[in-house]
Chain A
Amino acid sequence: MPILQVKNLVKNFDGLEAVNDVSFTITRGEVLAVIGPSGSGKSTLLRCLTLLEKIDQGTVIFAGKTMVETSSKGLVQYAPEEQLRKIRPRLGMVFQSFNLFPHFSVLQNITEAPVRVGGLTEAAAQEIAFELLAKIGLSDKANAYPYQLSGGQSQRVAIARALAMKPDILFFDEPTSALDPELTGEVLKVIRTLAEEKMTMMVVTHEMSFAYEVADRVLFMDKGQIIEEGIPEQIFRQPTNERTKAFLKNFNYGSRF
């Protein structure tokens, strides 16, 4: 059953089509990797789906509810704000630059939204937070502040913060691109664990081997469009499109392939 349906999504920036007529679906429990060159519209697509950007054309249906649709006359119509407010916390987002709240401790970074948005008690939120901290291996950092964390630790906390809202889908916008190479592993490990638990995820990434191993399906984007789509085996081993071939040629997969 599709949890997210995207139809003919278009997003323009100053006359430039950042996302150009993109359609796809995500099924519950699926891990979808989005790969492609810089500026191909991957991040913009994620930002449209998490309501950080307004789309110019298209339809997005989340869990059977229309978030935004376009009439036959081309008029874009978002769902009423009260409905979007209910949807937003169900769409988790992990940013490239973490965006932790620097004035909150690690614990409060995680509990703030469940308490203020989700209406949980402080105690209930903390219980969830400690479970998540244990899961990401940072139980000892509950009272630390973001500036005291490494990049990898920050990103793991950011993942926990998103998970605390119990989202139906978790979006990752190049979650390891801001990290030193030796720190990417610890973040990818957490995402891998989530995949094993059947968390629905859409991951924009430059980590090809990670996409190959973890994703159920891969979208290759270029110039705002989905050029090729398929299971990792097919995209990475037998890409049919010339642009996909050219893009993947630049990556060295090592002995894994």
Chain B
Amino acid sequence: MSKNKHQYAFFLGCIAPNRYPGIEAAAIQTSKNVGIDLLPLKGASCCPAPGAFGSIDLNVWYAMAARNVVLAEQMGMDIALVCNGCYKSIWEVNHKLKHNDELRDGVNEVLKEIDMEFKGTADVWHLAELYYDPEIVGVKKLADSVKRPLTGAKVAVHYGCHLMKPSKERHFGDTENPMWMEELVAALGAEPVQYRNKMQCCGAGGGVRGYDITHALDITNEKLINMEEVGVDAVTEVCPFCQLQFDRGQIEIKEKFGVEHGIPVLHYNELLGLAQGMSPDDLALDLHAIDVEPFLKKIL
């Protein structure tokens, strides 16, 4: 892993830089505020999308993800990222290649064609776990970085799937009723609220969003109903793809099902940015499909 625990190659993925650039801006700024430098990982590509590529041919998925890891290896750095889907590809392929010689040899044979070699010298982290880790940042330091507490805001947490599951391979412990992200939210002064079936999937993964949009949206809608039941001002997540599904999904749900929710959707880094004093403009919150204004009114 990196010699420096506070410097990481920042793997952007697709949706954060290309649909919600506020997440990218927030991640860089908010991390700097708690002592983490995110450096550009030049030439990175799509992770690639684990649902699509994994479904087509796992071997391509391994090789493509490995290429992204090798870019960080060449920098001599660990990777930090902000998306569960990217985590699934980058973390898991890195992990598999480190522990399965046969797989690694196969991937390296392909990488050789582009003068690359997977060595297994880098680790992969989700920024959220670095924030939670007291040896890197920790909840206390996070709370100390808050300039504008999100007091009075009731926030539902959506953990998503590919960060913590399958739990046996990962290191996050309880995947049935985790509370660590609630701690991250509480550190910002907001009130994390519990709702029915909070660990349920957003519905978008596995290529389902593209394959059968109403099926995916029906899952999303169920989650939104459960959040509405307890009354929330926003939902936060650590996955731009989940964010897309909840945010644009609400527009699609309205179109296709005639049901309206109006729950603002914010990536944790956007939430953290707001708490650290970044303005809605600094975060391009106007790009969100669901108006964030009601939430901002609550906290500003």
The finding on whether chains A and B are genuine partners in a shared complex, rather than unrelated, reads: no
Identify the A interface with B (CB < 8 A): none
Identify the B interface with A (CB < 8 A): none
